[in-house]
């Protein structure tokens, strides 16, 4: 399976994803320059974390206009997998591939930490290696990760089961203490209605290497390998 990782000026987790897909999982992976629009050779596209174009106007606001992102939208429309991590999640909401927006954290500080997440859905390409309701721990690192959507959108997301990861220490809790950034409904990650596009603020690629202590995130990548391999 061939992975593509989009590189905007200001992306800084691009090589971290490369280390997981190519270094740990042995999959052919190519970096995609933001001006490149030929992505048809790719099976999976990852939009990595960072500060695309400096995030000066609004996180992800410029990136959506890049040729690579326009090609990513087409890729997604064909039902192929797209993963946006952190800034990549912000880019996906700006591009309209996912609903809602990511705004400043509740306490206004950047937060780098490891947080417990509940896996809400395991019948996706991405999450099939997890158990339903499983609590995993993934790193977060963001200043603008507070998920916001209007009440109708939020209700629709919940109704259609598009919330994939929720900040939670328990299989059903929703205490404020467990919500690091003030996200509505404790949302840490969502998918589109088709389920092929996943956006998440936590960094699965930072919890993939046993040498660094945690492999809770590796299953996200390993899961899609197994799934796509099965389809092929």
Partner 1 sequence: MSAVSPAPFSAEEIAAEGLKPEEYAEIVHRLGRHPNKAELGMFGVMWSEHCCYKNSRPLLKQFPTEGERILVGPGENAGVVDLGDGLRLAFKIESHNHPSAVEPFQGAATGVGGILRDIFTMGARPIALLNSLRFGTLEDARTRRLVNGVVAGIAHYGNCVGVPTVGGEIYFDPAYTGNPLVNVMALGLMETPEIVVSGAKGIGNPVLYVGSTTGRDGMGGASFASAELSDESEADRPAVQVGDPFLEKSLIEACLEAFKTGAVVAAQDMGAAGLTCSTAEMAAKGGVGIELDLDLIPVRESGMVPYEYLLSESQERMLFVAETGREPELIEIFHRWGLQAVVAGTVIAEPIVRILFQGGVAAEVPATALSDNTPIYHRALLAEPPAYARQAWTWTIDQLPPCTLEGIEIEGNRWRWDDVLLTLLATPTIASKRWVYRQYDHQVQNNTVILPGGADAAVVRIRPVQSIAQSITKTPAPAQPPVFSSGVAATVDCNPRYVYLHPYEGAKAAVAEAARNLSCVGADPLAVTDNLNFGSPENPIGYWQLAEACRGLAEACRELSTPVTGGNVSLYNETLDSEGNSQPIYPTPVVGMVGLIPNLQQICGQDWQETGDFIYLLGMQPNDAEGAVVSAATEAASPPSALTLGASEYLAAIHQTIAGIPPLVDLDLERRVQAACRFGIRQAWVRSAHDCAEGGVAVALAESCISGQRGATVHLTVSQHPEIGQTNNNSNSYPRWDHLLFAEGGARILVSVSPSQAAVWESYLRDHLAGHWQKIGQVEEINSSLRIVTADNQSLINVRMSDISDRWYNAIEHQLSKSILLES
Question: Interface residues with partner 1 (CB under 8 A)?
Answer: 2, 7, 9-10, 12-16, 18-20, 22-24, 26-33, 36, 49-51, 53-56, 109-113, 139, 141, 143, 203, 205-206, 208-209, 211-213
SS3 148: strand
Question: Rounded to the nearest whole angstrom, what is the least distance from the CB of residue 74 to partner 1 in the complex?
Answer: 20
Q: What are phi and psi of 59, to 5 degrees?
A: -55, 125
Nearer to partner 1, 52 or 196 (CB): 52
| b/e map 211-224, b = 16+ CB within 10 Å | eeebbbbbbbbbbb
Residue 28 C-beta: closest distance to partner 1, Å: 5
Q: What minimum distance in Å lies between the beta carbon of 122 and partner 1?
A: 25
* Catalytic position from the list 94, 120, 144, 205: 205
205 is catalytic: yes
Spatial distance between the Cα atoms of 212 and 7, rounded to a whole number of angstroms: 24
Question: CB-wise, 56 or 77, nearer to partner 1?
Answer: 56
Which C-beta is closer to partner 1: that of 18 or that of 154? 18
CB 212, min distance to partner 1, A: 6
SS3 220: helix
Residues in the chain: 232
Catalytic position from the list 86, 94, 142, 191: 86
How many whole angstroms separate alpha carbon 145 and alpha carbon 110?
9
Q: Give the nearer residue to partner 1 in terms of CB position, either 22 or 178.
A: 22
Are 103 and 144 contacting, i.e. CB atoms less than 8 angstroms apart? yes
Q: How far apart are CA 91 and CA 95, in angstroms?
A: 6
* Nearest distance from C-beta of residue 209 to partner 1, angstroms: 7
Q: Which is nearer to partner 1, 106 or 192 (CB)?
A: 106
Would you state the structure tokens that stand for residue 37, as one six-digit string?
């629009």
- Report phi then psi at 184, rounded to 5: -60, 140
- Known catalytic residue: 142? no
Tokens of 1: 């399976």
The catalytic residues are: 86, 203, 205
């Amino acid at each position: 399976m061939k992975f593509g990782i989009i590189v905007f000026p200001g992306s800084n987790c691009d090589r971290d994803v490369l280390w997981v897909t190519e270094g740990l999982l042995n999959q052919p992976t190519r970096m995609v320059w933001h001006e490149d629009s030929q992505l048809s050779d790719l099976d999976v596209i990852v939009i990595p974390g960072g500060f695309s174009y400096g995030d000066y106007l609004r996180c992800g606001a410029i990136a959506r206009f890049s040729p690579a992102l326009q090609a990513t939208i087409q890729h997604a429309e064909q039902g192929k997998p797209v993963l946006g991590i952190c800034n990549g999640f912000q880019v996906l909401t700006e591009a309209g591939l996912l609903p809602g927006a990511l705004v400043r954290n509740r306490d206004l500080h950047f937060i780098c930490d490891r947080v417990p997440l509940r896996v809400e859905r395991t019948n996706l390409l991405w999450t099939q290696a997890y158990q339903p309701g499983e609590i995993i721990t993934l790193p977060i690192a963001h200043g603008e990760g507070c998920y916001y959507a209007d009440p109708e959108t939020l209700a629709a997301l919940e109704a259609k089961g598009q919330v994939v990861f929720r900040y939670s220490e328990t299989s059903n809790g929703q205490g404020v203490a467990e919500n690091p950034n003030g996200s509505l409904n404790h949302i840490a990650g969502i998918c589109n209605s088709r389920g092929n596009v996943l956006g998440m603020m936590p960094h699965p690629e930072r919890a993939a290497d046993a040498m660094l202590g945690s492999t809770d995130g590796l299953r996200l990548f390993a899961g899609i390998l197994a799934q796509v391999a099965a389809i092929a």
